Amino acid sequence: MDSLGFMQKFAQELRKKLLNRAVVDLMIRKLGKRGIRVPKNRKVAFAKWIESGASDCFAISGRKGTSNSLASLEITRRDARRLNAMVLRRTPGIVTIAAEITTRRIARPYLRSVRSEWLMSLPEKRRTAEGFERRTGRRWKRPFALLELQIDIAREAGSAMNRLLRAEAPRKDRQFVDVMTRLHARGCQVATEILALLQKGFADGAFARWRSLHEITVVSTFIGKYAREMARRYLDHETIESVRAATGYAEVAARLGHSPMDPADIASLENERAKLLRKYGDSFGAEYGWAAPAFKSSRPRFADIERFVGLDHLRPYYKMASHGVHANPKGVLFQLGNPRIDTLLMAGPTNFGLADPGQTTALSLAQLTAALVQLAPLIEHQLTLAAMNLIAKDAAKAFVGVQLGIEKAEERIQAKARREAAH
């Protein structure tokens, strides 16, 4: 029996037991109105007799030499309504009964059953997944290869710039170099995660990760324009975020069963936060307060930074990628990898919809690398950047080309389905 059948049978038995109890109670009440009392020591036997559906008589008194009145009972419509009300009143007890039976008698056997079935089906599941990945890899071979090449070039460029900048940067610029190289390294890692998700067929997950890559690219480009002062503010803002995180943790630590933070540690963070606000102003306490000097607003938003560095033309893509991150209605009713959202629930990988996360990743990685390379504009670095831009264009073209081919095939399938339905 599969896991669903197992649970359905359990639910049926539970409902039957609940109804039988209600019938027994109703019968005892009806007998009581006729002056016939069911002794306590006979109630269990009486219940079993009713549950068995026996057609013979039942002796209310189990003692020899005691006369029993003959009484016949019937269930009227009014009784049926009363039974329904009694079952409803007992319904809250289902939770208690189910919990007790499940934890004591059913959970372990159920788990063994599910685990056994899962282990038996695992080889076939693995073969199916591997077959899907091979087919996806063949279909998207060229754009995948171009994106992987670009990631490798970006890593090598980042490594070379890291060595060069750290060796030659004056001490006063060390924080700036550290921020820029760390942002670039993190961007390369995120790009690698995106490629892995694309190869596995998770378009929406890949696009959600591109959202992070875009944020890294915007922040890196912005800090690159302001250099030393903005890098210092950016690093100092970690304390603001730490205070916010500590406050949130303190509110739920007990509910999580975790130990609370040491009050001395929290006080130290608060003191550091107060010093930073005195140094930079109250606006520094906002989410993007570290970027405030570049804007008239004391509480700049990410969209403001995005617009400042000229990457706001990607905001529609950023908003679309956000649907896969949040639990808003659009995220439920729109899936990048689902061409039949009205009729199909997508709960796994698909080879559809990989173009948008693929091409935007290639573009953002080139922009992120440009923000780092411009700090030391040597001829070889400029050649690297030019090569990355060319790869980004080729990759975007290749991703879109494969996607269009899949969409045309999907249109033919849909048209065929409509023709068959018409006939």
pLDDT of 212 > 80? The answer is: yes
* Cα(277)–Cα(182) distance, integer angstroms: 25
Looking at every residue in the chain, the average pLDDT score rounds to 84
pLDDT of residue 412: 87
How sure is the predictor about 69, in pLDDT bands with cuts at 50, 70 and 90? low
pLDDT of residue 67: 45
Q: Which amino acid is at 106?
A: I
Is residue 141 within 8 A of residue 133, CB to CB? The reply is no
Q: At what angle do helices 355-373 and 203-226 cross, to 10 degrees?
A: 20
Half-sphere exposure of 401 (CA within 13 A, CB side): 12
- 3-state percent helix, strand, coil for the chain, nearest multiple of 5: 80, 0, 20
**Lowest mean pLDDT, pick from 57-61, 164-168, 231-235, 296-300:** 57-61
Q: Is 362 exposed, middle or buried (0-12, 13-18, 19+ CB in 10 A)?
A: buried
Tokens of 303: 């969209």
How sure is the predictor about 35, in pLDDT bands with cuts at 50, 70 and 90? confident
Q: Which amino acid is at 344?
A: L
Nearest to 291 by CA among 304, 279, 282: 304
Percent residues over pLDDT 90 in the chain: 50
Domain ranges of the chain: 3-126, 140-422
Is residue 392 within 8 A of residue 201, CB to CB? The reply is no
What's the mean pLDDT in 100-107?
62
**Lowest mean pLDDT, pick from 33-42, 84-93, 166-175:** 84-93
* Cα(31)–Cα(26) distance, integer angstroms: 9
Tokens of 417: 């389905």
**Lowest mean pLDDT, pick from 126-135, 163-172, 303-312, 401-410:** 163-172
Instruction: Output the CA–CA distances (angstroms, integers) from residue 46 to 36, 67, 216, in the order listed.
Output: 13, 17, 74
Tokens of 395: 């990759």
How sure is the predictor about 60, in pLDDT bands with cuts at 50, 70 and 90? low
Q: What does the pLDDT look like over 315-359, one tens digit per residue?
A: 999 999 998 888 878 777 788 888 777 777 878 899 999 999 999
* Cα(48)–Cα(53) distance, integer angstroms: 9
pLDDT of residue 62: 44
pLDDT of 296 > 50? The answer is: yes
Is residue 218 within 8 A of residue 310, CB to CB? The reply is no
Query: How many other CB atoms are there within 10 angstroms of residue 29's CB atom?
Result: 12
DSSP 3-state of 75 = coil
Higher local confidence (pLDDT), 91 or 405: 405
Is residue 90 within 8 A of residue 22, CB to CB? The reply is yes
How far from chain centre, in Å, is Cα 11? 30
Higher local confidence (pLDDT), 411 or 218: 218
* Cα(114)–Cα(127) distance, integer angstroms: 20
* Distant-in-sequence, close-in-space partners of 133: CB < 8 Å, separation ≥ 6: 199, 200, 201
What's the mean pLDDT in 298-325?
92
